[in-house]
Structure 1
């Protein structure tokens, strides 16, 4: 009976790994994809009777499944040293996409310029809406260390709603930088607010080891290096509402 339960458990794990592979095959590194493919395509797993063996073969199936899973776990964890690789990559892509949208789309650029000239919270909301389109549910820390929804300015909704709609949950702090001289001050303000947050794991989808300090400025700003504190990396992101094209800005700087 115990062997049969173990085989069924292995089958469930196999199904979940297969779903993970299908969902993230476009963002995982090639070495991780190859590791997954090698594990999933083993002929033993794809045989018609492996997960429903006759009693005389249950021991062999259990032993092979457990050995294969242990070997796969060791190799895959080595490849994906950061277990939150996928969540971080999706988040980074969302910020890059946002800046490029502002560069090429005049309508979106106007919305960001208006928000920049109006109030910080409008930039938060626009940013959170864009991130959600990439599967990133952004939140900020409240005064008690809890989570506040950036769009609704209220406590984060139920876990089930977040998990059903988002790939990852990410702490962000947005600040307006009206002048380059303000940059360090705004970064420190954002960092201080982010440090209030008492991290917990929301259904396993929270990007726990990264916090994003987003500096919204008129022109592009050179961001300082990331800061690592107690195993948490504080990422410094610049979103410029009038960025121009990088090559043109580079020429302007050289001509000065």
Structure 2
């Protein structure tokens, strides 16, 4: 089994804000001369959005889905001092230290369900993933998928794992049917959920889940709303995922029921 590793880069240039994102991500350049879409820990949902982005993206990659490379992106204390936009300068100041970035897919086009076709197997894989991680943000209004080199790439998993915004109810959320799957843009094509479940249950082992979770930086786990130490928070994510896997028939049946109402 390949061990999860993320490269770390130093952000060297702020190019432009990407204002279509609610958390004001930015296009930046790093010291490896590549461009990235940078997600800031100082934005709206703070490090929880970065954790969701990281876990969701790495689980997707583990399952064989295409996701732009994720890297830890370091913002130096002096970075952004010359930025003229006061809102952006405040965001940069609040995000000093370790952030998360995705490799920029230059020339990629937004997935359009009216134009682009996805086969039933791939659609089922993506719907299953989003039901597992409770991703509320892959809808007709905001597909969060790109077409790059004629292939489908998944982006923006920061709205996943919404249980961590109500930390006291994490056990209840772990076995929820995830009714919001009814809004998933690929649900009409997702006719192979049971077959995909059998395959993915073999791939997404407890060891692999722990491997992914253990890489979360401790500085992202210093939350105001809980005094739980970082290791306990990591374990909560592990147990959330294990319980959802053990009870996958709950979210599969929910998705199948929602699909029947669509077709």
**So what's the TM-score if we normalise by structure 2?**
0.24
Bigger helix share? 1
**So what's the TM-score if we normalise by structure 1?**
0.24
Task: Kindly name which structure, 1 or 2, has the bigger radius of gyration based on alpha carbons.
Answer: 1
